[in-house]
Amino acid sequence: MNKDTRKPSLLGGIMIITGTTVGAGMLANPTSMAGVWFIGSVILLVYTWFCMMTSGLMILEANLHYPKGASFPTIVKDLLGDHWNWITGLSIAFVLYILTYAYVTSGGGMTQALLQHLFPTLPIPRSIGSLIFCFGLGFFVWISTKAVDRFNVILLGGMVIAFLYSSLGLIASAKATILFNTLSPANEHYYPYILGALPVCLVSFGFHGNVPSLVKYYRRDGKRVAKVIFLGTGLSLVIYLLWQLAVQGNLPRADFAPVIAKNGDIHALLTALSNMIKVETLTIALRFFAYMAIASSFLGVTLGLFDYISDLFKLSDNTKRERIKICMISFLPPLILSLLFPYGFVMAIGYAGLAATVWTGIVPALLVKAARKKFNPPRYQVYGGNFIIYFIIVFAMLNIFAQIAQQFHLLPIFTG
């Protein structure tokens, strides 16, 4: 039998990029960008999309100098040395842990609300919701990767249907006066809040861990992978813009105050949005979409964390007992954090943005710069020459500055 030489379809790769990018992060965007509101959100999303898409292409260019299957540890160690390899590894681990915490906190709140609706006479604390959410979905990670894949297909299918129904319904009911905030006082400010929204926006376009896998999947066809990255991230951008239109066209800017007071808690956002929507089925679809997005993102992130912990501590995942050990190391730290700090969704996403900046902004730019010095030009090369390298480094530094400045209260904070 002849070996199959057909090229994998573009659609498969586009769905990998879009599925990785679009998740629970989009639920944090309307709150984190309430200060800049709709026009500012569009500017931020387009700017971040271009920079993150370009940095992904930089990883692609560097990856093409190495054998099939080479990933971050091999490439970073060879081009930038052991120190940068350690920094990159630690930043990846931090991002995975902090995102797991973010999803447990938000998923726990939504689970609590569901249980309270089913059992109205029983006082159900948020901690119970977090425990059920974490252990319920963590069970699939403990069983096997295949179990996660099968369950994720169900979640993604439900999420797509709910997103289309809720988004189209919300867009149809959006009002221009709310979307452009024309009824507010003339002296309201927007652009001072741009820097503060950048880190959360960055996390919304995080797909870079998939690039080495796509290089292998498309048999080192650089131009084809580049097209997948452009189309996949472009589709994500369109989805985010529609979502901003749907939410910020229905929920007035001032009504974000109670959501912001709870650090962008998803349940608080959905409650505020539901009060503006008169169609009950639309409200149900919106909550269903949010829960599916949180759950699918949780599974994707924790599966990556599980594999990372297994490799880091050289633990075998072939037996149920060993898998329990890995799950304990993976799940307990973020679960404990969620019980201690139950309203930290947007804040946690922002911290993830700080760490993600290292391996999605700074490292890709440095890899391309080092690769061009060490190797001959590859079959694919990122546009822009040296200018684009420094452009991406500036983008990364802006994100780092924004997060640090927020911690020291150097940036204005929109409170509604």
Tens digit of each residue's pLDDT (9 = 90 or more) over 365-381 = 999 999 999 998 777 89
| pLDDT tens track for 100-124 | 888 888 888 889 988 988 888 888 8
| pLDDT tens track for 32-50 | 898 999 999 999 999 999 9
> Which whole-number Å values give the CA distances from 15 to 11, 323, 362, in the listed order?
6, 29, 26
pLDDT for 50: 98
Of the candidates 29, 30, 28, 35, the residue with the CA atom closest to the CA atom of residue 412 = 35
pLDDT exceeds 70 at position 186: no
pLDDT exceeds 80 at position 315: no
> Can you give the pTM of this predicted structure?
0.81
User: What mean pLDDT do residues 69-98 have?
Assistant: 86
| Cα separation of the two ends of the chain | 66
pLDDT exceeds 50 at position 85: yes
pLDDT for 25: 65
pLDDT for 231: 95
pLDDT exceeds 70 at position 194: yes
Considering only 283-287, 350-354, 385-389, which range has the smallest mean pLDDT? 350-354
**Torsional sign, CA 314, 317, 318, 322:** positive
Residue matched to tokens 């977090």? 130
**Torsional sign, CA 275, 276, 278, 283:** negative
Range of 60-74, 208-222, 252-266, 394-408 with top mean pLDDT? 394-408
Q: What percent of the chain has pLDDT over 70?
A: 93
Residue matched to tokens 């894949």? 149
**Torsional sign, CA 30, 32, 35, 41:** negative
- More confident site: 269 or 241: 241
Q: How confident is residue 10, by pLDDT bands cut at 50, 70 and 90?
A: confident
pLDDT for 1: 44
- More confident site: 175 or 21: 175
Of the candidates 208, 205, 258, the residue with the CA atom closest to the CA atom of residue 234 = 205
CATH numbers and ranges of domains, the chain: 10-408 (1.20.1740.10)
pLDDT exceeds 70 at position 4: no
Residue matched to tokens 């290089």? 215
| pLDDT tens track for 126-153 | 889 999 999 998 888 888 767 776 777 7
pLDDT mean across residues, the chain = 85
Q: What percent of the chain has pLDDT over 90?
A: 28
